[in-house]
Structure formats: C-alpha cells, structure tokens
Structure 1
C-alpha cells in the first residue's frame, strides 16, 4: 500500500539549495582556483627564468635587470649545449642518464615483483625472516653501504660501465613491500581457480597478477625513474671517464671554479634539457600514475 501511494504521488520535488549556500560554494571554488594558479605561477617562475636565460647572450644575463622574455639565441645556445658542452656534449650525458634511469627502474620493478610473488605465494622455511631482512634494508641507504658496494663493483671490473651504474641500485625494499601488500589483497579464489585449471605459478603470475598490477607498476615506474635520473653520488664515485658522465654530474661540473667565468646560457640550456625526460615520463604516465596511487584495481 505504501509503494502504491508513492507511485501515485509521483517523485518528490527536488530541493533547491539556499542562495547563500550557492554563493559561499562559488566563492570558495574561485578562491581555491586562484590559490592553485598562484601556486603554479610561483613554482613555474624559476623554470621560466631558466628558460629565458638559455635563450639570451652572456652579457644580457650578467647585466641587470635580467630579461623576462626569451631572446634570439635559442638555437645557438641549445646547439652548443647538445653537441659541444663544457667537458662532454650534453647529448652524451643525457643518453647515459637515460640508460641508467631506465635500467634502475626496470630492474627494481622486475626484482620487486618476483620477490613479492615468492614471499606471498610460496611456502619455504624462513619466509618471514627473509621478508623482514629485505624490509630492514630500508635503513641502509646507498651512502651507508657505498664503500663495500664500490669494492664489489671494482672487483667485478664494472667501473666506468653501465652495469656498474645500474646493478648496485636495482634492489628496492620499498617496491617489494608495496607489491607484497598488493598481492596479499588478491582473493585466494583466483589462485585456486588457476591451480584447478592447471596453470603453473609463473602462468598465474603473468596472466593474472601482472595485469592487475599494471597501475601499481606505472606509479612505481614514475617514482623510480626520477630516482634513477637524479642520482649523483654513486655515478660520481664509480665513473672517471668523462664519456660516462650523467647529466646531473655534467651540470655540477659546468659551474666554474676559481676565477673562471660561467657560460650561463649553456648551463641554463643544459638544465632545461635535463628536465625534459622526467617531464615526458610524468605526463605520458599521469593517468596510470594517479590510478596506481588511489585505485587498487582489485
């Protein structure tokens, strides 16, 4: 009887918000956007100045006031940075940094995925002990273990090589922990169904766990790529050949010592070029990165 009465009476009229509520909501929305725009401008302004400095001549930079609009030396300065540089062409250093960052990123993700898979889905003596040993390595950054790591790399003859730049940094307790936590949320019924269908463990890993981990992998890829790209101390320690310099090392070496005069347009051009690969990675994987942080996709 109640249902018939509701149908007969029709839908309830929509309640309009009070005018004061609309005005307050609109004002707060505008204020939020204004604050966000101001924040973006504050962050972007130094980058804009660096770009402007990379397009003008040396006298225009050192003579105040510094220009706020790009000059006519864009091609000249960027060509000098890419193919001449100070010690090594920037193109070579960018390639070295790209190889190092990609190697560290892919290596960390592969090792972490396999480690987390073994810890969650396999039974073996001391499984918890091994996991906590991996987790405790978070307390030991590269700076703490840099001397023994250098001795091992030197003993294997990997100084001034891409292997020496990559292999000591590809283990990641953080990524292993994150993948372990994600795998533990996967329903056990999926593993049971795969076992009933005759799928071996690695088939279950590739066909079920890997597609489910796609957004998590993307989020970690962005973070780990920036981590590898910004490495400075380890490449500085194990590379003595200028041809193996990374872009972060190159920028530091461009600054003058003593009474030397810095070539600021070339330095600024190099800094802008050094920002391009991480920006491309972040923009191209932005959607997956956000989903990997806020969506478990279970």
Structure 2
C-alpha cells in the first residue's frame, strides 16, 4: 500500500512537470512551426509544420538587410555573444575583487559600503540609463562594444554572492597562507580563486543569459546597423515579420542550451559552492 502511494505521488509529480514543460515549450514550437511555411504566408502561431523550414532558415542565415547591408544574422549573433560574455565576465571579475576587498582588508565603513552596493539592487537598471548614456556619449563610446559592456559591468548581486561565499572560507586557510609567507595577491590567486571557480562559473552563466537578453540599453547606445544585437534586430525587423520571428527563435537557443546543459553546475555553484 505504501509503495502504491509512493508510485501515485511520483506519477502526479511527473504529470505536473510534463504539463509545465509543455506549457512553456508550446508557444516556442508554435512560432517555429510558423516560420517553416512558404514565404509570403501570414506569420501566426500554428502547430502544423510546413515544408519550407530548411529553405527559410538558410536564406535567413545567409542574407543581409538594412540600408548598409550590415544587418546579418551572423553579425547579430557575434554582437550578442560579445555583449553577454563581456557583461558576465566583467561582472564576475569585479564582484569577486570587491567581495575579496570587503572581507579580507580592513576598510573603513566596509559595512556601509556593502549596504550601498545592496541598495543598487533596489534600483531598476533602466533608471540609470539616461545619465549613463550621457557619460558614454561624452567618452565617445556610442556604437561600440565597449559602450555596450562597460556601463553595465558593476554588480551588487554578484558582490553579495561572492561575499557570502568568502565568509565560509575557513580562517585556517588564511593563517596557513600567512605562515607560508603568501601575500594578498598570492593568497587570492592560489587559494581563493580556485575555490571560487564553481560559484564564478554558475554566476557567469546566469549573467550571460541576462546580458544576452538586454534590450533597452542596446537600443539606446547603438544606431549603426553593424552593431545590432539579436534582440535589437527583432525590434528592427518587427516581431510580426518572418525574419523577426526567426530571430526570436535563434535568440532563445544559445541561452536555453547553456542552462539545460549546465543546470546542475549552476545550482551547485550558487547554492552549494561553499562545500
């Protein structure tokens, strides 16, 4: 009787999980099926796949658009990748260094500084765009990858994660490093950095997805067609056009694959990285 109840509970759990997965995947599939029909047909979500999918996507990947002809799928993919990777890499590096300084150096008002960093989490990212754009324009970084990435590099959330992780590092490691004559840089490079790799990798993946999906900031800081990202391209082509819909499908794939492939590492790094 107990085993039957356990089997029944597992069956219900699986039904709920499968239903939830279908609920999330079905809209994406409906958009993909709409892009597989012959060109000229009205783009609308549908469940019946067409026979022109391969032809449509080959033409989509090899063609160019825009007044200058610089709007290509490959260029938008590269721009989105550089934005996501640079956004995540700089945030992880700066957050780890900031947390290291707050934990292991005697900084006056370190608690107040950390509180200010946490307060930045309460501000929507969009609320800082106008003054940030003015600074980027004054520095001549508009329509550049540096202008896309650098203004978004600081992260209070990343500092919080790394601070909580570094607080779990045993004091014995610090004392051992001092006895061995290791300075702050050597201690950071040889001990703390290897220990932080799981947390850093998990945080990098989360921030990469966040950077990949950035919309408003790329729209504000890029006007040249060669600097468009995938999300910016969707705004350029329109979400009801065939190319805009195919861009939406392509934009979903890299982050989704990364999360699916490394979901266990993400969970372990973010919530179990101290063990």
Q: Answer whether TM exceeds 0.5 for this pair.
A: yes
Counterpart-to-counterpart distance in 2, 1:67 and 1:224 = 33
Aligned twin of 1:268 = 245
Aligned twin of 1:6 = none
Counterpart-to-counterpart distance in 2, 1:118 and 1:94 = 36
Alignment pair present for 1:278 and 2:255? yes
Counterpart-to-counterpart distance in 1, 2:47 and 2:113 = 56
Structure 1 unaligned residues grouped into runs of 5+: 1-19, 257-261
Aligned twin of 2:274 = 297
Contact 2:233 2:244 in 1 (8 A): no
Secondary structure of the 1:185 match is coil
User: Given the superposition, is the C-alpha separation of residues 39 and 25 from structure 1 closer, same or farther in structure 2, using an over 3 Å criterion?
Assistant: same
Deviation at 1:157, TM superposition (A): 0.4
Contact 1:77 1:269 in 2 (8 A): no
Deviation at 1:243, TM superposition (A): 1.1
Deviation at 1:115, TM superposition (A): 0.4
Aligned twin of 2:60 = 81
Counterpart of 1:205 (choices 185, 188, 201) is: 188
Alignment pair present for 1:162 and 2:145? yes
Alignment pair present for 1:228 and 2:205? no
**Under a length normalisation based on structure 1, what TM-score does the superposition of the two structures give?**
0.85
Counterpart-to-counterpart distance in 2, 1:59 and 1:152 = 44
74-83 vs 28-37, greater mean Cα deviation: 74-83
Aligned twin of 2:15 = 34
103-112 vs 180-189, greater mean Cα deviation: 180-189
**Under a length normalisation based on structure 2, what TM-score does the superposition of the two structures give?**
0.91
Per-residue displacement from partner, 1:53-78 (whole Å, max 9, x unpaired)? 22111455569xx7534322223211
Counterpart-to-counterpart distance in 1, 2:215 and 2:46 = 31
- The two structures, once aligned, show a CA RMSD in angstroms of 1.9
242-251 vs 127-136, greater mean Cα deviation: 127-136
Deviation at 1:46, TM superposition (A): 1.0
Aligned twin of 1:121 = 104
User: Given the superposition, is the C-alpha separation of residues 228 and 272 from structure 1 closer, same or farther in structure 2, using an over 3 Å criterion?
Assistant: same
Q: Which has the larger radius of gyration?
A: 1
Counterpart-to-counterpart distance in 2, 1:62 and 1:219 = 37
Aligned twin of 1:10 = none
Where do residues 104-143 of structure 1 align in structure 2 (5 Å cutoff)? 104-143=87-126
Where do residues 66-105 of structure 1 align in structure 2 (5 Å cutoff)? 68-84=47-63, 86-87=65-66, 88-105=71-88
Counterpart-to-counterpart distance in 2, 1:209 and 1:238 = 36
Deviation at 1:176, TM superposition (A): 0.3
Counterpart-to-counterpart distance in 2, 1:141 and 1:38 = 33
Contact 1:218 1:285 in 2 (8 A): no
Secondary structure of the 1:215 match is helix
Deviation at 1:85, TM superposition (A): 5.0
247-256 vs 77-86, greater mean Cα deviation: 77-86
Aligned twin of 2:168 = 185
Counterpart of 1:149 (choices 118, 129, 132) is: 132
Counterpart-to-counterpart distance in 2, 1:108 and 1:61 = 42
Secondary structure of the 2:154 match is coil
Contact 1:61 1:67 in 2 (8 A): no
Counterpart of 1:238 (choices 213, 216, 221) is: 221
Counterpart of 2:26 (choices 40, 45, 52) is: 45
Structure 2 unaligned residues grouped into runs of 5+: none
